[in-house]
Structure 1
Amino acid sequence: MITKTIYFEDYQVGFSRETFGRTITESDILTHAGQTSDFYPHHMDKEWCATQPFKRRIAHGTLIFSVAVGMTAGDINPVAMSYGYDRLRFIRPVHIGDTIYTKATITEKRDHKRPSHGIAVEKLEVTNQNKETVMVCEHIYLVERKQPLEA
């Protein structure tokens, strides 16, 4: 990983980046189920799923969220930290063998109560191999300013 300092003033609304793909495997689903104790049949029971409208096992939404966010982690910015996530939606199911991609776009910048920091909002759009949206959310960053605002 590379350390790259990007201050609040350096963030540009509209800037976007895209990740390489990541194929979701049965092992991913089994591991995530064990880590979270989410053993619902939608994720675990192949035979039961075959009787349902979706026909195949569905990856946990929290698994797709975790993988998609992790895919965007690359360079370390020592003056920014994750402040949370908003507007998380699971649009379509992800199945074993689907490949997901994440596009991250800066959509907003705003002041924070600390004059030394600002908020940058990055929209994450996760698509599958068919370019269908499977998940969206907003990643909120707390970012140090080069010059604090005057109180």
Structure 2
Amino acid sequence: MFIKKYFEEFELTEVRETYGRTITETDIVMHAGQSGDFFPHHMDEEWCKTQPFKKRLAHGTLIFSVAIGMTAQFINEVSMSYGYDRLRFILPVFIGDTIKVKVSIKEKKEHKKPGYGLVVELVEVYNQEMKLVMVCEHLLLVEKTVKA
């Protein structure tokens, strides 16, 4: 769905949540192939049994990619991704875990580019036990309705 939501229309009280998505072994294997990260933490079940978590865990970058993709519910024609800050992997995600994403508008501020503002979204990823597993800030460069 295409929308036009300008800088002035974002509210600090806005929150949206996604449906759940279960992380599978296929997700991990495909991400390893795409990223080149075949570390045993993700690929070697027997080795993982000797480690603190006792089982394979998903790549942090996989969880980041999937979670951000889950938030892509519409295309804002007057906004573009400016980047991500403060990315942290709080807890591991394992094969069979289901993640959900909560996005809150954290901050709005001016930007040096005339006619644009910066919207900061707080992205929180939770597992099926509602434990926080990942957090980051998504920066959006958004057009203003009134050009400076």
Task: Mark yes or no: TM-score above 0.5.
Answer: yes
Provide, for residues 127-146 of structure 1, a one-character-per-residue CA deviation record: whole Å limited to 9, x for no partner: 00000000000000000000
* Cα distance in structure 2, aligned partners of 1:14 and 1:64: 26
* Cα distance in structure 2, aligned partners of 1:58 and 1:132: 16
Gaps of 5+ in 1: none
Q: Percent identity?
A: 62
Where 2:123 maps in the other structure, the secondary structure is: strand
- Equivalent position amino acid for 1:48 in 2: W
* Cα distance in structure 2, aligned partners of 1:76 and 1:35: 26
Report how many residues are paired: 148
TM-score, length-scaled by structure 1: 0.97
Provide, for residues 19-53 of structure 1, a one-character-per-residue CA deviation record: whole Å limited to 9, x for no partner: 00000000000000000000000000000001111
Aligned counterpart, 2:36: 37
Q: Tell me the CA shift for residue 114 of structure 1.
A: 1.4
Where 1:65 maps in the other structure, the secondary structure is: helix
Q: Tell me the CA shift for residue 4 of structure 1.
A: 1.0
* Cα distance in structure 2, aligned partners of 1:4 and 1:111: 22
Asked if residue 20 in structure 1 is aligned to residue 29 in structure 2, the reply is no
Aligned counterpart, 2:130: 131
Q: Tell me the CA shift for residue 111 of structure 1.
A: 0.4
Aligned counterpart, 2:116: 117
Provide, for residues 54-102 of structure 1, a one-character-per-residue CA deviation record: whole Å limited to 9, x for no partner: 0010100000000000000011100000000000000000000000000
Moved over 2 A (4+): none
